[in-house]
Chains A and B, each alone.
Chain A
Amino acid sequence: MQIGLDPEQRAFARASGALAADLAAGWDRGRGPHDVGSPEPSEKDWARIADAGWPALRLREENGGLGAGTVDVAVLVEQLGRHAVAAPVLGTLVAAEQLQTLGAPAATLEAIAAGELRVAPLLDARLLDFAPSADGALAWDSAGATVAFAPDGSAHALGEPLPAADVTRAVRRPTSPVPAAALELRPPTDDDRDRLHAFVLTLLVADLLGTMSAALDAAVEHARSRTQFGRPIGSFQAVQQLAAEDLVSVEATRSAVYHSAWAVDALPAAEALRAARVAKAFASRAGVAVCEDVVQLFGGIGMTWESPVHVWLRRAQTDRTSFGDEHTHQAVLADLDLAPGA
């Protein structure tokens, strides 16, 4: 047993965190919903992202990637959540892994790894899973993406961003097919499909972890500096008790990310998917609950556009819903565990 990040992973977390913070600093929340900065990164920022190797992280070396393990990818995604990065890194990682699983040609994956081809995953209209086709699908975390592929290999151009809760990521509809860009893909084996699913759920848990821990840190900082009745509000027991339970949720979610990320690469696919469903169910509940507490701890200012608090809650709710919330996964787990003969 060795549970926790090794020195290299910690160094990668620091380096990714530094770039994520820098990217976040360049994004402007604006003064209100009509003034918020686009999550589409500038050419310069996207070049920095590609230079950092983020789109290439999970792709295998023969596909122009870095062949990183899921734990490393989760380390990066936690930092994306922590800094609420408004750039479609997560969408790119998810689309790249789907395409790799479906046997996309190396040339396509190399172009994604290099940041030259900007892709987004297609999800069904309820955001529960990858879409079976482009009909009614949504291109998820797709700011700046030029194309999205359906499992049959058809390529689709994307429309304008739809109104969405999350101001740091865009959702768009596929508009028209782009026959010239179509790929030859093959259906995945059951194991490959389960492992892909486990990988994606794990990344969402990591994004929730980063989001909730950043929100809690900010709330604690606020509680230490904001005074009422002549004392910091963080000295009041009601505030302390709430914040303490939130840290329990954050640390439990961290344990869930560690296990689920390890499981993607180490356990049989069905077990890895089961672990990821457990982690996603837990983190969906915990992440939103912590962000809601943080709104409460900030008080009135947390309800304004001037404060970043709503950005975390928006991101957490979107992560929670994407690829299934706690109800979705608990229903599946109930069937797995409780069906007669299971």
Chain B
Amino acid sequence: MDFSDSPEVAEFRADLRAWLAEHLAEHADGVSYDSAEGVEATHRWHRALAAAGYVAVSLDPRYGGRGLSDLYEAVINEELAAAAAPPPPPIGHIAHAVADFASDDLKGRVLPGLLGCTESWCQGFSEPGAGSDLAGLSTTAAATDGGFVVNGQKIWTSWAMWADRCLLLCRTEPDQPRHRGLSMLVVDMDTPGITRREITLANGSREFAEVFFDDVRVPAANLVGERGQGWKIAQHMLTYERGPADMGWTGRLGNVLAAAQEAVRSGRLPADDVLRRRLAAVAVDAQVLSWHVARSLVDRESADPGSSGSIDKLLTTRVEQELYHVVDDLLGAAVVVGDQRPFSEYLWSRAQSIYGGTQQIQRQIVAQRLLGLPRG
């Protein structure tokens, strides 16, 4: 049992800290998804990280990675959170899907832009009729001469408004059972027939979009893996989507907690005994969450990552939603009158139990796959 860094990880961490100390201010200014300038600043930040060798480090060096374990991806997420830097580009899962399944030709065409962050990507999975029930999606890609013709609609597609390419999960085999009828395509977002429509979230965030596909032609060479392999690739991606990023998210929750503790310590926010105890209780939960995330990261090779990921997400949901309850109760009326950032952050905490598989679905996965309870 050892929760501390190995010498190699400690050195990597120290190098990254030094790099952040020197370059963070220069590269991270103005990063957001709220405006064209903010998005451009975000892309600059991602390119700076890539140039310094901190993007997709777990990918094989043949493809531009550094061949390091997921732990190093986690360290990057953790250190960026600790420095209150913007997050790294969320592309590890896309990079692994392409690197592990695509043809050499496709890899050669798309991986340099993906890893160098000179091209930005989105992931077209959810649909209006297929959220929790993702395998029931209905966007089709009909095989034609030399390729596919895509028709359908995607929703909740993060960063689609600015993406150059989309990794699209779609139905190519309508005669097959639903999980086996899916395939994964790389779609250039400037292809004729693609329409994007921004979705403004309740908290004002402009990260999401709907994407409409009307007779969009995609060359056969842009098929990732084989026809019918889409679900398998999507499951493979899930194993890379959460673990390391959880570490960063946990760290960012830790920053929110630390700021609240500092405000109480300094007397800037008055807190009676009840609020102090609630703050201490949620600090306990946040600490246990960070230990748990570290454990699942190190454990994941031996465990079923999809299912233990559900446990991690449920635990994160508990902690995050309670944390914002306590923070908002500390702030009192300032949440509802005045600067609306605290209320926006609170609203976003309500999304934690919805995105990436709702709380109900995650519990069902835990109950049926881990506890072995029978399907209803």
Contact = CB atoms under 8 A, between A and B. Distances in A.
A42 interface: no
A243 B373 contact: yes
Contacts of B375: 235
A331 B374 CA distance: 42
B364 A331 contact: no
Given A234-B373, A234-B374, A259-B291, A333 B1 contact: no
Interface stretch (A24-32, A79-87, A175-183, A247-255): A247-255
B364 A4 contact: no
B88 to A, nearest CB: 20
B292 A255 contact: yes
A331 B314 contact: no
A245 interface: yes
B142 interface: no
A111 to B, nearest CB: 31
Interface string A223-236: 11000000110111
Given A258-B1, A259-B3, A282 B374 contact: no
Nearest to B69: A1
- Interface size class on chain A is 35 or more
B298 A330 contact: no
Interface residues of B, number: 52
Interface stretch (B32-40, B163-171, B260-268, B339-347): B260-268
Interface in A201-247: 220, 223-224, 231-232, 234-237, 239-241, 243-245, 247
B367 A1 contact: no
A262 interface: yes
Interface string A317-342: 00000000011011101100111111
Contact of B265 (A253, A261, A262, A340): A340
A331 B4 contact: no
A189 interface: no
A342 B373 contact: no
B298 A241 contact: no
Interface string B274-316: 0011011101110111011011001100100000100100110
Nearest to A232: B374
A4 B371 contact: no
Contact of B267 (A263, A266, A340): A340
B372 A224 contact: yes
A245 B364 CA distance: 10
Interface in B174-216: none
A261 B315 CA distance: 21
A235 B311 contact: no
B71 interface: yes
A281 B289 contact: no
B293 to A, nearest CB: 8
A342 B265 contact: yes
A231 B376 CA distance: 8
22 contacts: A1-B9, A3-B2, A6-B1, A220-B373, A231-B376, A240-B371, A243-B373, A244-B314, A244-B366, A247-B371, A248-B311, A248-B314, A251-B311, A252-B289, A253-B288, A256-B291, A259-B3, A266-B3, A278-B284, A326-B281, A327-B277, A338-B264
Q: Which 6 A-B pairs have the closest CB atoms?
A: A240-B367, A244-B363, A255-B292, A244-B366, A334-B280, A234-B373
Interface of A: 1-6, 71, 220, 223-224, 231-232, 234-237, 239-241, 243-245, 247-248, 251-256, 258-259, 261-263, 266, 275, 278-279, 281-282, 326-327, 329-331, 333-334, 337-342
